[in-house]
A and B are shown apart, each in its own frame.
Chain A
Amino acid sequence: MRVLFSLRFAASLAALSALTFLAPPVGAEVSLLNVSYDVSRELYKDINPAFAAEWRAKKREAVTLNQSHGGSSKQALSVAAGLEADVITMNQAPDIDILVERGALVAADWRRRFPHESAPYTTVSVFLVRKGNPKGIKDWADLARPGVSVIIPNPKTSGNGRYTYLAAWGQALRKNGDDAAKAREFVAALFKNVPVLDGGGRGATTTFTQRGIGDVLVTFENEAVLIANELGKEAFEVVYPALTIEAAAPVAIVDKVVDKRGTREAATAYLNFLFSPAGQETIARHHFRPRDAAVLAQYAARFPAVRTFTVEGELGGWANVQKTHFADGGIYDQIVERR
């Protein structure tokens, strides 16, 4: 009896381990992995099939495009740890610079490899308020008013949050004649109104829209419009401040990976596709501001003219900003600690 039991038992175990050797079918001629930030998912869902079709027409070769999305700094660190990305498409330059520093995965001159400093599109930081704008939020000054609750992702972990912080800082600088002390006072007052700091852009969106916390969400234009479209125009309104930051989204080839995998040609073509009229049009459809003047003109109704400044132009570049504001013990830490 017992022998029979254990035999049957052993047989079922054997059957279980046999499962192990089955594997899903794989097979494509070229494959590229695009490691990207959190809220670009919808864009690349459209870009990828369009590029694959163009590549097939030109090269008579199939190309498989794989995507990975997450908080931008976390994604950059994954690539630094060995995630084999052929291209990285980020929302802030520091997340590509870190791959130059760590293991020289990306060539130091990545900004000069593609047009427009290797950034195929830009977006701006805007406000999303609840329908009817009950708190009457029109500009940055309103966010620092007592009694207004502001939702911003954590500037330490999220590019989105970092741009918001820098937008608030930059416009305060300009308003107060470059007086850093006044700018600091304003940003400190603003962050006093922030009840939660989410890790990434999507987390902040969920806090504002699903959990119903806060009077205003500061986020990228594309995300704000997407929320208004997906989650109901009757619930939210987009407000454009008088002056805001322009966030360029940089892209780069991961040199070490493409050389190893022999995919440089396809990776270069993929990133070039983003700058082509077809790519630019897809970009505009997803509410990112395209670089191509003709496409921008065509979609002008979507992109209200807004005065902007950039990190490179106004704030002394990313390296400087990183050092004075976001390094441990920098101005951001001092402001948040004093809360």
Chain B
Amino acid sequence: MKINPAARARAISSLAPGELKRALAAVPWIKCLVLGLALGFFAVFLLLPLIVVFAEAFRKGLDAYWAAISEPDARAAVWLTLTTVAIALPLNLVFGVAAAWCIAKFEFRGKQLLVTLIDLPFSVSPVVAGLVFVLLFSTQHGWFAPWLQAWDIKIIFAAPGIVLATIFVTFPFVARELIPLMQAQGREEEEAAIVLGARGWQTFWRITLPNVKWGLLYGIILCNARAMGEFGAVSVVSGHIRGQTNTMPLQVEILYNEYSFSAAFAVASLLALLALVTLAVKSWVEWKARQALDFNDDKQDIAP
């Protein structure tokens, strides 16, 4: 049972103002303790590292920072990361929506198997995922070696391998976000649309997609964050060619190993910045989703 937020708000507002305050203030020291613990934990484990990243990045001044992030290898790494995300994201979006749609709205043989397979990338270590791609696509001893050699196609140790590895590790995000949502919504609206004469695509674009829009955006954002930050799987298939197959996380490691600590933190700060933007967009999406929900609730209240 889901509690209607509007109903909850009505229940709370029906309390006398004094009563509510007293109920919340009953055990003030516990409240303070819990709040203090949460804030302390937050400061030490989340805020402090973030501050350290930016402090280290700017330690040698703005000029050094700018030099570090405008260096050709760093620019290539940023570019590769963004390109990878730009390819992996739309593909995972399409796969994710298709998979979630099938699973939530239809009954078919092997459905449980598909659900399990979708979770596979979450349970497999990224390093193993990377090695799998090496074994498959190695031009020397991989399964497809003769074919890859005949057509002179490079997959691992090149951008395609990095994109593949990224797609693999980020595959579940969109589907996992959508499946419970679509299942909860059921099939009634689609069935109604069909009865009213809508065709399959029409139903999908006008009913199914708008219904899961915010959940979908949320999944995309999570997928995006992971795709930009992925290290393990990408490291295995990258080959670490400077200026060509190093993504931003790999570039950070390289710079750090070269004693270029402030340059490493400069690139890391770019990654952190991208993460912060992602986080801001995520909060905005959540806020919008809540608004949309309240809007729907109000509609239902007015015209039942």
> A residues bordering B, Cβ < 8 Å?
2-3, 5-6, 9-10, 13, 16-17, 19-20, 22-24, 33, 38, 41-42, 66-70, 78, 80-84, 102-103, 105, 202, 206, 230-231, 260
Is the CB–CB distance between B138 and A230 below 8 Å? no
Q: Any chain A CB within 8 A of the CB of B210? A: yes
Q: A81 is contacted by which of B79, B80, B89, B141 (Cβ under 8 Å)?
A: B141
Is the CB–CB distance between A202 and B239 below 8 Å? no
Is the CB–CB distance between B241 and A78 below 8 Å? no
The 6 closest A-B pairs by CB, nearest first: A82-B139, A19-B86, A81-B138, A17-B90, A83-B157, A83-B239
Q: Any chain A CB within 8 A of the CB of B108? A: no
Report the separation of the CA atoms of residues A70 and B240 in the bound assembly, to the nearest whole angstrom.
8
Q: Any chain A CB within 8 A of the CB of B213? A: yes
Q: Interface with A: B19-27, B43-51, B61-69, B251-259, which one?
A: B251-259
Report the separation of the CA atoms of residues A231 and B261 in the bound assembly, to the nearest whole angstrom.
11
Report the separation of the CA atoms of residues A1 and B140 in the bound assembly, to the nearest whole angstrom.
56
Report the separation of the CA atoms of residues A67 and B251 in the bound assembly, to the nearest whole angstrom.
13
For this complex, 10 residue pairs linking A to B, each with C-beta atoms less than 8 Å apart, are A2-B206, A66-B242, A68-B240, A69-B254, A81-B139, A81-B140, A81-B157, A82-B142, A102-B141, A260-B152
Q: A20 is contacted by which of B90, B141, B142, B254 (Cβ under 8 Å)?
A: B90
* Distance from A83 Cβ to chain B, minimum over Cβ atoms (Å): 4
Report the separation of the CA atoms of residues A67 and B258 in the bound assembly, to the nearest whole angstrom.
14
* Distance from B154 Cβ to chain A, minimum over Cβ atoms (Å): 7
Is the CB–CB distance between A80 and B206 below 8 Å? no
Q: B87 is contacted by which of A3, A20, A24, A80 (Cβ under 8 Å)?
A: A20
* Distance from A61 Cβ to chain B, minimum over Cβ atoms (Å): 20
Is the CB–CB distance between A6 and B87 below 8 Å? no
| Given A16-B86, A41-B258, A230-B259: A66 in contact with B140 (beta carbons within 8 A) | no
Report the separation of the CA atoms of residues A103 and B145 in the bound assembly, to the nearest whole angstrom.
12
Q: B134 is contacted by which of A13, A38, A81 (Cβ under 8 Å)?
A: A81
Q: B206 is contacted by which of A6, A16, A230, A260 (Cβ under 8 Å)?
A: A6
* Distance from A278 Cβ to chain B, minimum over Cβ atoms (Å): 23
Q: Any chain A CB within 8 A of the CB of B156? A: yes
* Distance from B56 Cβ to chain A, minimum over Cβ atoms (Å): 13
Residues in A with CB closer than 8 Å to B225 are: none
Report the separation of the CA atoms of residues A13 and B89 in the bound assembly, to the nearest whole angstrom.
10
Is the CB–CB distance between B87 and A82 below 8 Å? no
CB-nearest residue of chain A relative to B257?
A202
Q: B140 is contacted by which of A3, A38, A102 (Cβ under 8 Å)?
A: A102
Residues in A with CB closer than 8 Å to B239 are: 68, 78, 83
Residues in A with CB closer than 8 Å to B259 are: 230-231
Which residues 118-139 of B have a CB within 8 angstroms of A? 134, 137-139
* Distance from A47 Cβ to chain B, minimum over Cβ atoms (Å): 14
Is the CB–CB distance between B157 and A20 below 8 Å? no
Residues in A with CB closer than 8 Å to B134 are: 81
How many cross-chain pairs have Cβ atoms below 8 Å apart between A and B? Answer: 89
Is the CB–CB distance between B86 and A9 below 8 Å? no
* Distance from A241 Cβ to chain B, minimum over Cβ atoms (Å): 25
Residues in A with CB closer than 8 Å to B254 are: 69
Residues in B with CB closer than 8 Å to A103 are: 140-141
Report the separation of the CA atoms of residues A19 and B257 in the bound assembly, to the nearest whole angstrom.
32
Is the CB–CB distance between B258 and A42 below 8 Å? yes
Q: B156 is contacted by which of A3, A82, A206, A230 (Cβ under 8 Å)?
A: A82
Which residues 229-283 of B have a CB within 8 angstroms of A? 239-244, 254, 257-259
Is the CB–CB distance between A66 and B244 below 8 Å? yes
Residues in B with CB closer than 8 Å to A2 are: 206, 210
Q: B154 is contacted by which of A19, A70, A84 (Cβ under 8 Å)?
A: A84
Is the CB–CB distance between B157 and A3 below 8 Å? no
* Distance from A84 Cβ to chain B, minimum over Cβ atoms (Å): 7
Is the CB–CB distance between A9 and B76 below 8 Å? no
Report the separation of the CA atoms of residues A279 and B208 in the bound assembly, to the nearest whole angstrom.
66
Q: B157 is contacted by which of A6, A13, A78 (Cβ under 8 Å)?
A: A78
Q: A23 is contacted by which of B83, B206, B241, B243 (Cβ under 8 Å)?
A: B83
| Given A6-B205, A6-B209, A42-B258: A82 in contact with B140 (beta carbons within 8 A) | yes
Residues in B with CB closer than 8 Å to A10 are: 205
Q: Any chain A CB within 8 A of the CB of B57? A: no
Report the separation of the CA atoms of residues A68 and B235 in the bound assembly, to the nearest whole angstrom.
12
Q: A13-B90, A24-B76, A81-B141 are in contact. List 7 more A-B contacts (CB 8 A).
A: A3-B205, A9-B209, A23-B83, A24-B79, A82-B145, A230-B259, A231-B259
Report the separation of the CA atoms of residues A19 and B81 in the bound assembly, to the nearest whole angstrom.
12
| Given A16-B90, A20-B90, A42-B258: A68 in contact with B213 (beta carbons within 8 A) | no
Report the separation of the CA atoms of residues A66 and B242 in the bound assembly, to the nearest whole angstrom.
6
* Distance from A74 Cβ to chain B, minimum over Cβ atoms (Å): 10
CB-nearest residue of chain B relative to A64?
B243
CB-nearest residue of chain B relative to A99?
B140
Q: Any chain A CB within 8 A of the CB of B103? A: no
Q: Any chain A CB within 8 A of the CB of B93? A: yes
Report the separation of the CA atoms of residues A2 and B235 in the bound assembly, to the nearest whole angstrom.
43
Report the separation of the CA atoms of residues A3 and B209 in the bound assembly, to the nearest whole angstrom.
10
Report the separation of the CA atoms of residues A81 and B236 in the bound assembly, to the nearest whole angstrom.
11
Residues in A with CB closer than 8 Å to B139 are: 81-82, 84
Specify which of A13, A42, A68 lies most central, judged by the most chain B CB atoms within 10 Å of its CB: A68
Q: A80 is contacted by which of B79, B140, B145, B205 (Cβ under 8 Å)?
A: B140
Is the CB–CB distance between B83 and A33 below 8 Å? no
